[in-house]
Amino acid sequence: MKSVNKVAIIGTGVIGASWAAFYLSQGFQVSAFDPAPDAEHNLSNRVQIYLRDLFELEEHKLDDLQTYITDLLNNLSFYGHIADAVKDADFIQENGPERIDLKKHLYAQLTQNCPRDTIIASSSSGLKISDIQQDCVYPERIVLGHPFNPPHLLPLVEIIGGEKTQARYIQDAFEFYRSLGKKPILIQKEVKGHVANRLQSAIWREAFYLVSEGVCSAEDIDTAITNGPGLRWAIFGPYLNMQLANQQGFKAAMHHLGEPMSEWWADMKPYALTEEKIDMLDNETQQFIHKLGDRNLQETRNQALLKTLKMRAELDLP
Amino acid sequence: MKSVNKVAIIGTGVIGASWAAFYLSQGFQVSAFDPAPDAEHNLSNRVQIYLRDLFELEEHKLDDLQTYITDLLNNLSFYGHIADAVKDADFIQENGPERIDLKKHLYAQLTQNCPRDTIIASSSSGLKISDIQQDCVYPERIVLGHPFNPPHLLPLVEIIGGEKTQARYIQDAFEFYRSLGKKPILIQKEVKGHVANRLQSAIWREAFYLVSEGVCSAEDIDTAITNGPGLRWAIFGPYLNMQLANQQGFKAAMHHLGEPMSEWWADMKPYALTEEKIDMLDNETQQFIHKLGDRNLQETRNQALLKTLKMRAELDLP
């Protein structure tokens, strides 16, 4: 892979701005483009907030926070034309809207204006690269680089190519993210929602179903997760936890749990969202939030994420 | 509720021993019974290990670790007959095998030998209290008190009664667990797997499906969880995280995500466990574990749980 000096961020909403802060913190020049009014102003504001998190995460920094932010912001350039943002970019992280027609149009522009061997990684959570790359010149360097929100803090990046992507670019993207301290995974087959969103949506479905059926409240669901299995999922995933569920390991745990688990699966119903259900679930959520008082939930979550990431690094968790 | 001085632990395997350590650490007399050979010896060993965790969790303790353990072990008595263990117990935590025939027989014995207003809480992860309490005298004080492994560390306790349970005992059990620092939730309808195991098994199903289909490896699934959504689930549950997924909150996030999420749900298939699939998943898991080297996974997990619980307490997370 060619050496990366400049990263272009295309689309600078919440995800794009978070990526921008991350790449700045890794020492890259960052060029950004977004057609929205106020995009430049909003990007600068968001990047400063996210850089504060990253400063806290990297305790070894000697500079003070303000110097750190000012220095890194000098490496950020916003452009009014997409061609200017990508013309000498060595890596592109794209965060446009999740509509295939818009995405295809965007990628036609990107590929016509950036160097032909620059990898373009899409943050798309739902679309397939095979669909995105259809109308592009040099589609072989287009990959999925799907982060989790907020990308400046969460290490996961899901990677896969489309039908026209060359294997070496997929491998290069994987190594690039890994070299920056991210935790990339290489998906072997294009499926809807990739991997992590499918796992996440499996929980959502059952969480929505149980509350809709009156089994428990939204607050109970959140308590059940954060004081039960969710506590373990920040440490080990489902496979290692299953290994620890029985003193004889994974297979014994599966033999022990297999039968009841299969019964629970059989009892889990399809679930269709309606406007009424969304209203009801929202109402439950707002009641729960009201009980939590005045605190800033976003800030609390990011503080907790920082502490959890430090704990994971200290214990060298996989 | 009557004042609790002595808690009986019935069934002293991994779950029962962990409960025993928890109740000892809360200052109770604990009487224990288990028919297995070596049960007394194994219980004593396990309790000492778990008390070490609890000592670490409560940093304010002035005694040294050995004094703490020796003092608390003095409050633990093991009995060879179930009647002796429960005859003057003020609260019973039952952790017998998950078979309804054994459970019904056990509860007939328990209820004949313990005081008539002593609450009996079952750790059962799959059975219904309505089925368990069928052949009992005074079935109105039998409730579910389902913990998550390891119960001495994880705060969640799921509570519900059966058809013959009186509401006041359900409320008393809830208040009792809460007074000990646990996070009980009150389930409103008896469903298979209660709440947390249903949420957990939703993830398992998709995790097993994706690996069986060759979409990714078991290691990839665990990486996706622990470096992605799992990091957030130790902090906030699915409802609060959905609120934070959009700057306009839960409803806007649902409108944004609802369509792709419904597509992912439609793409999620039923999954049937077979011996071949279990072998394959086990093989994947053992390969992953092999890469992690020699470390003791159980100890690592418990250390990480302790740190996560301290972080949650510091930030006063719900």
For every residue of A111-179, DSSP letters joined together read: HHHS-TT-EEEE--SS--HHHHTTT-SSGGGEEEEEE-SSTTT--EEEEEE-TT--HHHHHHHHHHHHH
| Count of A-B CB contacts under 8 Å | 390
Asked if the Cβ–Cβ distance from A216 to B187 is below 8 Å, we say yes
| Complex ipTM > 0.90 | yes
Asked if the Cβ–Cβ distance from A228 to B156 is below 8 Å, we say yes
Name the helix (H) or strand (E) containing B207. Answer: helix B196-212
* Cα separations in angstroms, B235 against A141, A223, A225, B78, B303: 37, 10, 9, 38, 17
pLDDT at B51: 96
With 70 as the cut, is the pLDDT of residue B86 above it? yes
With 80 as the cut, is the pLDDT of residue A60 above it? no
Buried b or exposed e, range B210-243, using 16+ CB within 10 angstroms:
bbbeebbbbbbbbbbbbbbbbbbbbbbbbbbbbb
CA distance A62 to chain B (A): 26
Asked if the Cβ–Cβ distance from B250 to A286 is below 8 Å, we say yes
Closest chain A residue to the Cα of B301, Cα to Cα: A235
pLDDT at A62: 64
Asked if the Cβ–Cβ distance from B237 to A243 is below 8 Å, we say no
With 90 as the cut, is the pLDDT of residue A32 above it? yes
Q: What is the mean pLDDT of residues A252-266?
A: 94
Gap between the Cα atoms of B108 and A36, Å rounded: 70
With 80 as the cut, is the pLDDT of residue A235 above it? yes
Q: What is the mean pLDDT of residues B80-94?
A: 97
Using pLDDT thresholds of 50, 70 and 90, give the confidence band for residue B37: very high
Q: What is the mean pLDDT of residues B2-18?
A: 96
The percentage of residues in chain B with a pLDDT greater than 90, rounded to a whole number, is 93
- Report chain B's mean pLDDT, rounded to a whole number: 95
Q: Which of B28, B38, B36, B16 is nearest to B73 (CA)?
A: B28
Q: Which residue in the set A202, A282, A292 is minimally distant from B251, CB to CB?
A: A282
With 70 as the cut, is the pLDDT of residue B62 above it? no
Using pLDDT thresholds of 50, 70 and 90, give the confidence band for residue A247: confident
- Angle formed at CA B317 by CA A210 and CA A316, multiple of 5 degrees: 100
* Tally of CB atoms within 10 A around A102: 11
Gap between the Cα atoms of A251 and A237, Å rounded: 16
Among B149, B219, B220, B290, most A C-beta atoms within 10 A, so best to mutate, is B220
Asked if the Cβ–Cβ distance from B229 to A196 is below 8 Å, we say yes
Tell me which chain B residues have a C-beta less than 8 angstroms from the C-beta of A149: 245
- Report chain A's mean pLDDT, rounded to a whole number: 95
* Cα separations in angstroms, B216 against A3, A159, A189, B148, B213: 29, 11, 8, 28, 8
pLDDT at B231: 96
**Cα A291 to chain center, whole Å?**
29
Asked if the Cβ–Cβ distance from B238 to A158 is below 8 Å, we say no
CA distance B88 to chain A (A): 31
Asked if the Cβ–Cβ distance from B225 to A213 is below 8 Å, we say no
Domains in chain B with CATH codes: 6-186 (3.40.50.720), 196-314 (1.10.1040.10)
